[in-house]
Amino acid sequence: MKRIALISDIHGNLPALQAVLDDIAEREIESIYCLGDLIGKGPSGHLVVDLIAKTCEKVIRGNWDEFISKPTEEEALLWHQQQLGPERLAYLASLPFSIEFVMSGKKIRLFHASPRSLYERIHPWNDRETLLSLFQSSNECESDVEADVVGYGDIHNAYIQHFEGKTLFNVGSVGNPLEITQASYVILEGHYGETKESAVSVQFVRVPYSIQRSIDQAIEADMPLLNEYIQELRTGVYRGIKLK
Ligand SMILES: [Mn+2]
């Protein structure tokens, strides 16, 4: 059996990432895949990119990882661009769209937001047809087959649903969770690369971390949109402005 830790939406929150990596190490999990949005919102995107590149076996692109490279006059985005610098921006832009593999007879597909786009946001309360569309493929994906198991990030809200023989889950957010104010990640376990059917498990983990340390780092960095960030970390309630 292989266990893979799936992490997503770190958003520059280093204390949250460190707490999750410590938990993964304590469980002796061999592989970590990151589902994107390494940066943006939080104060330490540069350090998070370096740590993710070092510790994760596979990393895919999130919406922030893509649009952060685009020319902008938005003050907050310029601040993050400057902190990251050209090399990290090039790394983020180069990340692939999806991760696909077979595990215990299931076709598994992982992406950031939807199989079609980094900017299509799908919540667990969306209609059944919309949720089922997450199993489809598109030109963006690595292969054109329908998936049996789909995992994604983007919405910062961990959940699992089963329907029509398929399993859909969201891994939640490491650095900016919007349901419980503890870092979220998922452990996927099964027989990697095997086409014969056997058990697959999806385990949700919540990790407490020092929110105060993250806030102190944000203040220290003199980060833009500081109050909105502090409020989100402390309450798990979305700031309600469309910065994606
Ligand atoms: Mn995100």
Report the separation in Å between the CA atom of 104 and the middle of ligand 1, taken as the mean of its atom positions.
29
- Pairwise CA distance, residues 168 & 163, whole Å: 8
Report the separation in Å between the CA atom of 170 and the middle of ligand 1, taken as the mean of its atom positions.
12
Report the separation in Å between the CA atom of 37 and the middle of ligand 1, taken as the mean of its atom positions.
5
Who contacts 92 (Cβ-Cβ below 8 Å, separation ≥6)?
A: 38, 39, 49, 61, 65, 66, 68, 69, 84
Report the separation in Å between the CA atom of 239 and the middle of ligand 1, taken as the mean of its atom positions.
13
Report the separation in Å between the CA atom of 49 and the middle of ligand 1, taken as the mean of its atom positions.
14
- Inside any domain, residue 149: yes
What CATH number did the domain enclosing 109 receive? Answer: 3.60.21.10
182 against 164, higher pLDDT: 182
Residues 92, 66 contacting (CB under 8 angstroms): yes
Report the separation in Å between the CA atom of 184 and the middle of ligand 1, taken as the mean of its atom positions.
13
pLDDT for position 111: 98
- Inside any domain, residue 29: yes
- In DSSP terms, 238 is beta-bridged to none
Counting the structural domains of the chain, the total is: 1
- Inside any domain, residue 219: yes
Give the structural domain span for 229: 2-235
* pLDDT (tens digit per residue) in 179-217: 999 999 999 999 999 999 999 999 999 999 999 999 999
Q: What's the helix, strand, coil split of the chain in %, to 5?
A: 30, 20, 45
Whether the per-residue pLDDT at 244 is higher than 80: the answer is no
* pLDDT (tens digit per residue) in 8-26: 999 999 999 999 999 999 9
pLDDT for position 77: 96
- Pairwise CA distance, residues 81 & 72, whole Å: 10
- Inside any domain, residue 243: no
- Inside any domain, residue 240: no
- Inside any domain, residue 38: yes
Report the separation in Å between the CA atom of 118 and the middle of ligand 1, taken as the mean of its atom positions.
10
- Inside any domain, residue 244: no
Report the separation in Å between the CA atom of 143 and the middle of ligand 1, taken as the mean of its atom positions.
24
- Inside any domain, residue 96: yes
- In DSSP terms, 101 is beta-bridged to 108
Report the separation in Å between the CA atom of 106 and the middle of ligand 1, taken as the mean of its atom positions.
27
Report the separation in Å between the CA atom of 199 and the middle of ligand 1, taken as the mean of its atom positions.
30
Whether the per-residue pLDDT at 83 is higher than 80: the answer is yes
